Structure 1
Amino acid sequence: MRAAVYRRFGGPETVHIEQIAKPSPRRDEILIKVQASTVSAADHRSRGRDVPRGLGALAALSIGIFRPRKRILGMDVAGIVEAVGVDVTGFVPGDEVIAMLGARFGGHAEYVCVPQGGAIAAKPRNLGFEEAVTLVFGGITARGFLNQVTVTAGSRVLVNGASGAVGTAAVQLAKQLGAHVTAVCSGTNSDLVTSLGADRVIDYTLDDFTADRATYDVIVDCVGNAPFERVEASLNPGGALLLVISDLAGILRASRQSRVSGRLVSASVGKYRSEDLAHLVALAEAGRYRPVIDRVYALSDVVEAHRHVDAGHKIGNVVLRIEAGAGSHAALARESATPSPV
């Protein structure tokens, strides 16, 4: 099978298309013929060992010290069940599915195996593979963090970094729960996040959201520049700071800050769960969750996809088309410069 493989850490040019052995499912595994994946910030960090401050040693245990431990990147997939192990009961060949691979990676290949107990769900029936895969990385991450708090009608939620994969998901999920959502992003993305449900937009290039007197029940930091010390005054009593990205100091201080302040500070997404994917699928099928696609690249153009993500300005999701003609979003050429909430 074809796969995008990297055998050393470094820039996008370290990734090459190679022919490698097709995996075979174990007793409890599902073999997926991959139609689409995404190139995410997590792929960028793993490939370049560009991790938040203080996490280098810990990250090395997962991604490798001298060479990559997982040579195929890609944390998510949308595809078709090719085969199942003898103990698998929930899926059969031909099923169209989405799955979160997480730190196991492996999505940037024509085939990947997923344990039946992992985060896997039926693909939304109304979405093509390229749209469907955008629910996974950002959606399940946002859902995992928001599961830790109570958001109800009238709750005030701020999403810092609202135009990325996790941010666009967090805006939509918070809005679905009835929250008043403030989105922090560049002014050029104001229309996009407003269309996704944001009630207020703060252009971070012009204003510091911590400088006004507004306070929030929940702050979701998808950027990594909103530690508790910076945003404490912006949190309501009993509120929560959800650190999607944090350095080591922020992770280590989270528990004590929660105890002392009476506000939840969390830097852990928790376990990726199939029921969270199923929730996202249900929203998408009901027309209440919109995929956001920045660009679509063919697998053969994976280096260019990495370059675009490395630039740090992607909007929503950068999709990698594994199979030619996958999904219904083929009209989006990889050169497209306009993100599409479809």
Structure 2
Amino acid sequence: MKAMVFTQYGSPDGLELKEVSKPAPKDDELLIRVHASSINSWDWEFLNGIPFINRLMYGLLKPKPGKQILGADIAGTVETIGKNVTHFQLGDEVFGDLWDNWGGFAEYVCAPETALELKPIVSTFEEAAAVPQAGVLALQGLRKAGPLQAGQKVLINGAGGGVGTFAIQLAKLAGTEVTGVDAAHKLNVILSLGADHAIDYAQEDFTKMGELYDLIIDCQNYRSMFDIKRALKPDGVYAMVGGSIPRVYQLWFLSSCAPFTRESRKLCLVAEGPNKGLADLKRFIEAGTLVPIVDSIYPLEEVPEAMRYFGEGLHQGKIVITMDSQA
């Protein structure tokens, strides 16, 4: 089978389209013919070997064998079933996040049945592949504040990317007032998804505008936690979806101090794990109340170009990789 492989950390120039062995599923796994995958921040970080913790997990000097194919999000068709699999049948169309295994930038991949759901019947494979990781992170971030109430104020930092475009729609479903923050060229898509306000981060710092929010979902995490707290209501919640390791440590430290300082504002890291809530997202999509935003679709052989585009940060929503042109 064809797969996009990398054997050293660095730029997208190191990615190569190769012929590799077709994987065989274990007893609790499915073999999936991949129709589409999508790019997430984890793919970019893993490719570049940053942060360093990725190297501790996947290979210190170079990616380990078995971890040399990027792509966590997949949408495809069940081709082979392990003997212990009970929830799927041959031919089922499925989607999911292979957070622990990767391997989606290939024509075939093996996955445990717990990593998969039946694909939304209204979605193409390309649309479905855009959902799992970004959609689940958005949903988990919103749930950090408990059940949202109509009229509450939600701010999404990095609202024009993959997680952000899902978070806007999910927050509006709860009837909240949504503010999206991102680069100027992404403000139109933020507003088109229903956000009530859009802020160009290069022109205004939302932590200094005097507005207070019930929930902040941060997909970028470049600001100090002390600045973030200034923009939260007394019982507000901050949900960190992604960011630098020093910022994560700062969040953990301040959270651990909260019982002693009587801090009522809650600082959370979104890290519940993959696919938790994916079935809920599927229901929203099939009901027509949630739409995956796909910026562009690249064939498998153009993954290096797709990754370069991702690294430029110009995309709105998700960048999808399709394998069907390789069939």
TM-score by structure 1 length? 0.89
Q: 1:114 aligns to what SS in structure 2?
A: strand
2: distance between equivalents of 1:169 and 1:62? 29
2: distance between equivalents of 1:125 and 1:16? 33
1: distance between equivalents of 2:250 and 2:223? 14
Residue in structure 2 matched with residue 12 of structure 1 by the alignment: 12
Residue in structure 1 matched with residue 279 of structure 2 by the alignment: 278
List aligned pairs for 1:181-192, cutoff 5 A.
181-192=178-189
**CA contact 1:257–1:263 (8 Å) conserved in 2:** no
Residue in structure 2 matched with residue 135 of structure 1 by the alignment: 131
Shift in Å, 1:47: 0.3
Residue in structure 1 matched with residue 145 of structure 2 by the alignment: 149
Residue in structure 2 matched with residue 293 of structure 1 by the alignment: 294
> Is 1:224 aligned with 2:226?
no
1: distance between equivalents of 2:117 and 2:223? 33
Shift in Å, 1:325: 8.9
List aligned pairs for 1:82-93, cutoff 5 A.
82-93=79-90
Residue ranges of structure 1 left out of the alignment (5+ in a row)? 327-342
2: distance between equivalents of 1:94 and 1:132? 16
List aligned pairs for 1:231-250, cutoff 5 A.
231-250=228-247
1: distance between equivalents of 2:270 and 2:228? 18
Q: 1:104 aligns to what SS in structure 2?
A: coil
**CA contact 2:144–2:237 (8 Å) conserved in 1:** no
2: distance between equivalents of 1:217 and 1:309? 31
Q: Supply the AA of the counterpart residue of 2:77.
A: I
Q: 2:167 aligns to what SS in structure 1?
A: helix
Q: Supply the AA of the counterpart residue of 1:144.
A: Q
Selected match of 1:212 from 209, 212, 220? 209
**CA contact 2:155–2:181 (8 Å) conserved in 1:** yes
2: distance between equivalents of 1:106 and 1:227? 35
2: distance between equivalents of 1:112 and 1:325? 15
Residue in structure 2 matched with residue 178 of structure 1 by the alignment: 175
Selected match of 1:67 from 59, 62, 74? 62
Q: 2:290 aligns to what SS in structure 1?
A: coil
1: distance between equivalents of 2:54 and 2:163? 21
Residue ranges of structure 2 left out of the alignment (5+ in a row)? none
Count of aligned pairs between the two proteins: 319
Shift in Å, 1:61: 1.4
TM-score by structure 2 length? 0.93
Alpha carbons of structure 1 residues 59 and 85: separation in structure 2 relative to 1, 3 Å: same
2: distance between equivalents of 1:268 and 1:196? 23
CA shift digits 1:272-317 (9 cap, x unpaired)? 235x111111111111111111111000111111111111222111
Pairwise CA RMSD: 1.6
Identity of aligned residues (%): 36
Residue in structure 1 matched with residue 32 of structure 2 by the alignment: 32
